[in-house]
A and B are shown apart, each in its own frame.
Chain A
Amino acid sequence: MADVSYLDVRRLHADVLDTDTADVALAMDEDAFRAFYDRTSRALWGYLSRTSGDRQVADDLLQECYYRLLKSRVAFESEAHRRNYLYRIATNLVRDTRRGTRPLFAEGLDVSDLEAPQGPADAEQRADVRRAMGRLKPRERALLWLAYAQGSSHSEIAGVLGVKTASIKLLLFRARRKLAAMLEAK
Protein backbone atom coordinates (compact mmCIF):
# COMPACT_ATOMS: atom_id res chain seq x y z
CA MET A 1 0.00 0.00 0.00
CA ALA A 2 1.35 3.43 -0.95
CA ASP A 3 2.28 5.84 1.80
CA VAL A 4 -0.33 8.51 2.38
CA SER A 5 0.71 11.63 4.25
CA TYR A 6 -1.42 13.50 6.76
CA LEU A 7 -1.68 16.39 4.29
CA ASP A 8 -3.07 14.06 1.63
CA VAL A 9 -5.76 12.88 4.02
CA ARG A 10 -6.61 16.47 4.93
CA ARG A 11 -6.78 17.44 1.26
CA LEU A 12 -9.04 14.50 0.48
CA HIS A 13 -11.30 15.33 3.41
CA ALA A 14 -11.47 18.96 2.30
CA ASP A 15 -12.42 17.87 -1.22
CA VAL A 16 -15.25 15.74 0.15
CA LEU A 17 -16.47 18.61 2.30
CA ASP A 18 -16.37 20.96 -0.66
CA THR A 19 -18.52 18.58 -2.65
CA ASP A 20 -21.00 18.11 0.19
CA THR A 21 -21.44 21.79 0.90
CA ALA A 22 -21.39 23.05 -2.65
CA ASP A 23 -24.13 25.61 -3.09
CA VAL A 24 -27.17 24.55 -4.99
CA ALA A 25 -29.50 26.91 -6.78
CA LEU A 26 -31.80 28.30 -4.10
CA ALA A 27 -33.55 31.65 -4.24
CA MET A 28 -32.15 33.04 -0.97
CA ASP A 29 -28.90 32.92 0.93
CA GLU A 30 -28.86 31.17 4.28
CA ASP A 31 -28.91 34.23 6.53
CA ALA A 32 -31.75 35.89 4.66
CA PHE A 33 -33.73 32.66 4.60
CA ARG A 34 -33.29 31.96 8.30
CA ALA A 35 -34.33 35.47 9.26
CA PHE A 36 -37.37 35.26 6.99
CA TYR A 37 -38.26 31.81 8.33
CA ASP A 38 -38.00 32.96 11.94
CA ARG A 39 -40.34 35.84 11.19
CA THR A 40 -42.97 33.83 9.34
CA SER A 41 -42.94 30.15 10.30
CA ARG A 42 -45.21 30.29 13.37
CA ALA A 43 -47.87 32.30 11.60
CA LEU A 44 -47.62 30.07 8.55
CA TRP A 45 -48.00 26.96 10.70
CA GLY A 46 -51.12 28.51 12.21
CA TYR A 47 -52.50 29.20 8.76
CA LEU A 48 -51.73 25.68 7.57
CA SER A 49 -53.18 24.00 10.64
CA ARG A 50 -56.36 26.08 10.68
CA THR A 51 -57.06 25.87 6.98
CA SER A 52 -56.23 22.17 6.67
CA GLY A 53 -57.74 21.22 10.03
CA ASP A 54 -54.85 18.89 10.78
CA ARG A 55 -51.68 19.63 12.74
CA GLN A 56 -49.84 16.75 11.12
CA VAL A 57 -50.63 18.13 7.68
CA ALA A 58 -49.40 21.53 8.84
CA ASP A 59 -46.13 19.99 10.03
CA ASP A 60 -45.67 18.22 6.72
CA LEU A 61 -46.57 21.15 4.52
CA LEU A 62 -44.56 23.77 6.40
CA GLN A 63 -41.22 22.61 5.09
CA GLU A 64 -42.62 21.99 1.64
CA CYS A 65 -43.82 25.60 1.50
CA TYR A 66 -40.38 26.97 2.30
CA TYR A 67 -38.67 24.56 -0.05
CA ARG A 68 -40.88 25.62 -2.94
CA LEU A 69 -40.23 29.23 -2.06
CA LEU A 70 -36.49 28.58 -2.13
CA LYS A 71 -36.75 26.83 -5.46
CA SER A 72 -38.90 29.53 -7.04
CA ARG A 73 -37.50 31.79 -9.71
CA VAL A 74 -39.62 34.77 -8.75
CA ALA A 75 -37.87 38.12 -8.27
CA PHE A 76 -39.48 39.38 -5.08
CA GLU A 77 -39.92 43.12 -4.83
CA SER A 78 -40.35 43.20 -1.07
CA GLU A 79 -40.73 41.16 2.09
CA ALA A 80 -44.50 41.42 1.76
CA HIS A 81 -44.35 40.11 -1.79
CA ARG A 82 -42.28 37.14 -0.66
CA ARG A 83 -44.63 36.46 2.26
CA ASN A 84 -47.70 36.61 0.02
CA TYR A 85 -46.07 34.21 -2.38
CA LEU A 86 -45.33 31.86 0.51
CA TYR A 87 -48.97 31.94 1.57
CA ARG A 88 -50.05 31.32 -1.99
CA ILE A 89 -47.89 28.21 -2.04
CA ALA A 90 -49.40 27.16 1.28
CA THR A 91 -52.94 27.73 0.01
CA ASN A 92 -52.31 25.61 -3.06
CA LEU A 93 -50.69 22.84 -1.04
CA VAL A 94 -53.59 22.70 1.41
CA ARG A 95 -56.03 22.62 -1.50
CA ASP A 96 -54.13 19.76 -3.11
CA THR A 97 -53.88 17.77 0.10
CA ARG A 98 -56.01 14.67 0.05
CA ARG A 99 -59.28 15.32 1.74
CA GLY A 100 -59.53 13.16 4.81
CA THR A 101 -60.42 13.57 8.42
CA ARG A 102 -59.79 16.96 9.92
CA PRO A 103 -59.16 16.18 13.58
CA LEU A 104 -58.49 19.75 14.60
CA PHE A 105 -62.02 20.85 13.79
CA ALA A 106 -63.59 17.98 15.67
CA GLU A 107 -61.62 18.14 18.88
CA GLY A 108 -62.48 20.12 21.97
CA LEU A 109 -60.05 22.19 23.98
CA ASP A 110 -58.36 21.09 27.16
CA VAL A 111 -59.07 23.82 29.69
CA SER A 112 -56.01 22.87 31.71
CA ASP A 113 -53.84 23.89 28.76
CA LEU A 114 -55.16 27.41 28.79
CA GLU A 115 -53.61 30.27 30.68
CA ALA A 116 -55.21 31.54 33.88
CA PRO A 117 -57.40 34.39 32.53
CA GLN A 118 -59.05 32.03 30.09
CA GLY A 119 -61.79 30.06 31.72
CA PRO A 120 -64.00 27.20 30.59
CA ALA A 121 -66.28 29.63 28.77
CA ASP A 122 -63.39 30.73 26.57
CA ALA A 123 -62.41 27.15 25.89
CA GLU A 124 -65.95 26.27 24.90
CA GLN A 125 -66.19 29.32 22.68
CA ARG A 126 -62.95 28.52 20.92
CA ALA A 127 -63.95 24.93 20.37
CA ASP A 128 -67.12 26.28 18.79
CA VAL A 129 -65.08 28.54 16.52
CA ARG A 130 -63.01 25.58 15.39
CA ARG A 131 -66.02 23.43 14.68
CA ALA A 132 -67.66 26.26 12.78
CA MET A 133 -64.45 26.85 10.81
CA GLY A 134 -64.44 23.18 9.95
CA ARG A 135 -67.80 23.49 8.29
CA LEU A 136 -66.70 26.35 6.07
CA LYS A 137 -65.26 25.83 2.61
CA PRO A 138 -61.45 25.81 2.48
CA ARG A 139 -61.37 29.12 0.64
CA GLU A 140 -63.67 30.71 3.21
CA ARG A 141 -61.43 29.46 6.02
CA ALA A 142 -58.38 30.87 4.28
CA LEU A 143 -60.15 34.14 3.60
CA LEU A 144 -61.26 34.68 7.19
CA TRP A 145 -57.94 33.56 8.63
CA LEU A 146 -55.94 35.88 6.43
CA ALA A 147 -58.25 38.81 7.13
CA TYR A 148 -58.74 38.47 10.88
CA ALA A 149 -55.99 36.25 12.23
CA GLN A 150 -53.23 37.59 9.98
CA GLY A 151 -54.58 41.06 9.43
CA SER A 152 -53.86 40.94 5.71
CA SER A 153 -55.16 43.63 3.39
CA HIS A 154 -57.69 42.89 0.67
CA SER A 155 -55.06 43.11 -2.04
CA GLU A 156 -52.80 40.72 -0.12
CA ILE A 157 -55.66 38.25 0.34
CA ALA A 158 -56.50 38.54 -3.34
CA GLY A 159 -52.90 37.79 -4.23
CA VAL A 160 -52.77 34.75 -1.97
CA LEU A 161 -56.10 33.28 -3.04
CA GLY A 162 -55.84 34.22 -6.70
CA VAL A 163 -59.06 36.23 -6.87
CA LYS A 164 -59.79 39.84 -7.78
CA THR A 165 -59.24 42.41 -5.07
CA ALA A 166 -62.64 43.94 -5.77
CA SER A 167 -64.41 40.70 -4.90
CA ILE A 168 -62.72 40.22 -1.52
CA LYS A 169 -65.10 42.53 0.33
CA LEU A 170 -68.15 40.57 -0.76
CA LEU A 171 -66.50 37.20 -0.18
CA LEU A 172 -65.48 38.28 3.31
CA PHE A 173 -68.98 39.52 4.07
CA ARG A 174 -70.49 36.18 3.07
CA ALA A 175 -67.89 34.15 4.95
CA ARG A 176 -68.37 36.26 8.07
CA ARG A 177 -72.13 35.82 7.94
CA LYS A 178 -71.74 32.10 7.47
CA LEU A 179 -69.35 31.71 10.37
CA ALA A 180 -71.45 33.89 12.61
CA ALA A 181 -74.58 31.91 11.75
CA MET A 182 -72.80 28.66 12.58
CA LEU A 183 -71.60 30.04 15.88
CA GLU A 184 -75.11 31.16 16.73
CA ALA A 185 -76.60 27.82 15.71
CA LYS A 186 -74.28 26.16 18.22
Chain B
Amino acid sequence: MNDFTDAEIETIVAESLAAEAAMASAEAQPPSSAIVWWRAQMRARQESAQLAEKPITIVHALSIAAGIGLMLSVIGYAAAGVKGSVAWVTNIAEAVPAALAALPLDLVNRWTSLALSAALVSVVIASIAAYFIFVDE
Protein backbone atom coordinates (compact mmCIF):
# COMPACT_ATOMS: atom_id res chain seq x y z
CA MET B 1 0.00 0.00 0.00
CA ASN B 2 3.02 2.24 0.26
CA ASP B 3 2.86 2.61 -3.51
CA PHE B 4 -0.62 4.07 -3.36
CA THR B 5 -1.36 7.69 -2.77
CA ASP B 6 -3.64 8.64 0.07
CA ALA B 7 -6.37 9.50 -2.42
CA GLU B 8 -6.15 6.01 -3.90
CA ILE B 9 -6.23 4.42 -0.48
CA GLU B 10 -9.23 6.53 0.40
CA THR B 11 -10.98 5.34 -2.75
CA ILE B 12 -10.26 1.70 -1.95
CA VAL B 13 -11.46 2.04 1.63
CA ALA B 14 -14.51 4.07 0.64
CA GLU B 15 -15.56 1.55 -2.01
CA SER B 16 -15.03 -1.39 0.32
CA LEU B 17 -17.02 0.16 3.13
CA ALA B 18 -19.78 1.39 0.84
CA ALA B 19 -20.19 -2.17 -0.45
CA GLU B 20 -20.17 -3.48 3.11
CA ALA B 21 -22.77 -0.88 4.10
CA ALA B 22 -25.01 -1.98 1.24
CA MET B 23 -24.70 -5.57 2.40
CA ALA B 24 -25.40 -4.62 6.01
CA SER B 25 -28.48 -2.70 4.95
CA ALA B 26 -29.68 -5.68 2.93
CA GLU B 27 -29.26 -8.12 5.80
CA ALA B 28 -30.73 -5.79 8.44
CA GLN B 29 -34.07 -6.97 9.73
CA PRO B 30 -35.00 -4.48 12.40
CA PRO B 31 -38.31 -5.01 14.18
CA SER B 32 -41.17 -2.84 13.04
CA SER B 33 -41.47 0.66 14.40
CA ALA B 34 -44.83 -0.23 15.97
CA ILE B 35 -43.26 -3.02 17.99
CA VAL B 36 -40.33 -0.90 19.12
CA TRP B 37 -42.70 1.91 20.13
CA TRP B 38 -44.95 -0.49 22.01
CA ARG B 39 -42.02 -2.07 23.85
CA ALA B 40 -40.67 1.37 24.75
CA GLN B 41 -44.07 2.36 26.11
CA MET B 42 -44.32 -0.82 28.16
CA ARG B 43 -40.84 -0.45 29.53
CA ALA B 44 -41.26 3.22 30.38
CA ARG B 45 -44.55 2.49 32.10
CA GLN B 46 -43.01 -0.38 34.04
CA GLU B 47 -40.09 1.78 35.13
CA SER B 48 -42.31 4.63 36.23
CA ALA B 49 -44.53 2.20 38.15
CA GLN B 50 -41.50 0.71 39.88
CA LEU B 51 -40.31 4.17 40.75
CA ALA B 52 -43.68 5.15 42.18
CA GLU B 53 -44.03 1.96 44.18
CA LYS B 54 -40.52 1.94 45.49
CA PRO B 55 -40.88 1.56 49.25
CA ILE B 56 -39.19 3.89 51.65
CA THR B 57 -36.32 1.84 52.86
CA ILE B 58 -35.27 1.19 56.40
CA VAL B 59 -32.31 3.45 55.80
CA HIS B 60 -34.68 6.32 55.06
CA ALA B 61 -36.64 5.65 58.23
CA LEU B 62 -33.46 5.38 60.29
CA SER B 63 -32.16 8.60 58.78
CA ILE B 64 -35.36 10.39 59.71
CA ALA B 65 -35.29 8.95 63.21
CA ALA B 66 -31.63 9.84 63.68
CA GLY B 67 -32.24 13.35 62.39
CA ILE B 68 -35.17 13.88 64.73
CA GLY B 69 -33.23 12.41 67.64
CA LEU B 70 -30.29 14.67 66.99
CA MET B 71 -32.53 17.69 66.68
CA LEU B 72 -34.32 16.91 69.94
CA SER B 73 -31.07 16.28 71.75
CA VAL B 74 -29.86 19.70 70.74
CA ILE B 75 -33.16 21.26 71.77
CA GLY B 76 -33.11 19.40 75.07
CA TYR B 77 -29.55 20.47 75.76
CA ALA B 78 -30.40 24.08 75.05
CA ALA B 79 -33.64 23.90 76.98
CA ALA B 80 -31.95 22.64 80.10
CA GLY B 81 -30.58 26.12 80.71
CA VAL B 82 -33.92 27.82 80.22
CA LYS B 83 -36.20 26.40 82.88
CA GLY B 84 -39.88 26.91 82.43
CA SER B 85 -39.88 27.58 78.69
CA VAL B 86 -39.58 23.88 77.98
CA ALA B 87 -41.24 22.42 80.98
CA TRP B 88 -42.14 19.20 79.21
CA VAL B 89 -38.48 18.31 78.79
CA THR B 90 -37.73 18.77 82.46
CA ASN B 91 -40.85 16.86 83.40
CA ILE B 92 -39.63 13.93 81.37
CA ALA B 93 -36.14 14.44 82.74
CA GLU B 94 -37.55 14.10 86.23
CA ALA B 95 -39.79 11.19 85.40
CA VAL B 96 -37.11 9.11 83.81
CA PRO B 97 -34.62 9.29 86.73
CA ALA B 98 -37.41 8.23 89.04
CA ALA B 99 -38.03 5.20 86.91
CA LEU B 100 -34.36 4.49 86.64
CA ALA B 101 -33.80 4.85 90.35
CA ALA B 102 -35.25 1.38 90.78
CA LEU B 103 -32.55 -0.02 88.55
CA PRO B 104 -29.21 -1.08 89.98
CA LEU B 105 -27.43 1.20 87.55
CA ASP B 106 -25.66 4.46 88.12
CA LEU B 107 -27.30 6.24 85.27
CA VAL B 108 -29.19 8.82 87.19
CA ASN B 109 -27.63 12.16 86.76
CA ARG B 110 -28.79 15.28 85.05
CA TRP B 111 -27.12 14.93 81.65
CA THR B 112 -27.75 11.26 81.12
CA SER B 113 -31.36 11.90 82.06
CA LEU B 114 -31.63 14.59 79.46
CA ALA B 115 -30.02 12.39 76.82
CA LEU B 116 -32.28 9.49 77.68
CA SER B 117 -35.30 11.75 77.61
CA ALA B 118 -34.35 13.08 74.23
CA ALA B 119 -33.79 9.56 72.93
CA LEU B 120 -37.14 8.46 74.28
CA VAL B 121 -38.94 11.39 72.69
CA SER B 122 -37.13 10.85 69.40
CA VAL B 123 -38.16 7.19 69.34
CA VAL B 124 -41.78 8.18 69.93
CA ILE B 125 -41.71 10.85 67.22
CA ALA B 126 -39.83 8.58 64.80
CA SER B 127 -42.45 5.92 65.31
CA ILE B 128 -45.19 8.44 64.56
CA ALA B 129 -43.26 9.65 61.48
CA ALA B 130 -42.75 6.10 60.25
CA TYR B 131 -46.43 5.41 60.78
CA PHE B 132 -47.42 8.36 58.59
CA ILE B 133 -44.87 7.40 55.93
CA PHE B 134 -46.17 3.85 55.61
CA VAL B 135 -49.80 4.92 55.90
CA ASP B 136 -49.27 7.14 52.82
CA GLU B 137 -48.13 4.09 50.87
Contact = CB atoms under 8 A, between A and B. Distances in A.
B24 A45 contact: yes
Nearest to A39: B33
Interface in A23-47: 24-26, 30, 33-35, 37-38, 41-46
Given A44-B30, A181-B1, 10 more contacts: A25-B48, A33-B33, A33-B40, A42-B28, A45-B30, A55-B27, A176-B9, A176-B10, A180-B4, A184-B1
Interface in B9-44: 9-10, 12-14, 16-21, 23-25, 27-31, 33-34, 36-37, 39-41, 43-44
B7 to A, nearest CB: 10
A88 interface: no
A84 B106 CA distance: 73
A150 B37 CA distance: 25
B3 to A, nearest CB: 9
Contacts of B39: 63, 67
Contact of A38 (B17, B27, B33): B33
B6 interface: yes
Listed residue (B10, B12, B37, B45) with the most chain A CB atoms within 10 angstroms of its CB? B37
Listed residue (B9, B28, B48) with the most chain A CB atoms within 10 angstroms of its CB? B28
Contacts of A183: 1, 12, 16
Contacts of A46: 21, 24-25, 28
Interface stretch (A2-10, A92-100, A122-130): A122-130
28 contacts: A24-B48, A26-B40, A33-B33, A33-B40, A34-B33, A34-B37, A35-B33, A37-B30, A41-B30, A41-B33, A45-B30, A62-B30, A63-B31, A63-B40, A67-B40, A71-B44, A122-B19, A125-B16, A126-B19, A126-B20, A130-B20, A133-B20, A144-B13, A148-B21, A149-B18, A176-B9, A177-B6, A180-B13
Contacts of A42: 25, 28, 30
A129 B17 contact: yes
Interface of B: 1, 4, 6, 9-10, 12-14, 16-21, 23-25, 27-31, 33-34, 36-37, 39-41, 43-45, 48
Contacts of B9: 176-177, 180
Interface size class of A (residues with CB under 8 A): 35 or more
Contacts of A33: 33, 37, 40
A83 interface: no
A168 interface: no
A91 interface: no
Interface string A100-116: 00000000000000000
Interface in A133-186: 133, 144-145, 148-150, 173, 176-177, 179-181, 183-184
Contacts of A38: 33
B33 A148 contact: no
A145 B4 CA distance: 21
Contact of A145 (B17, B25, B28): B17
A183 B9 CA distance: 11
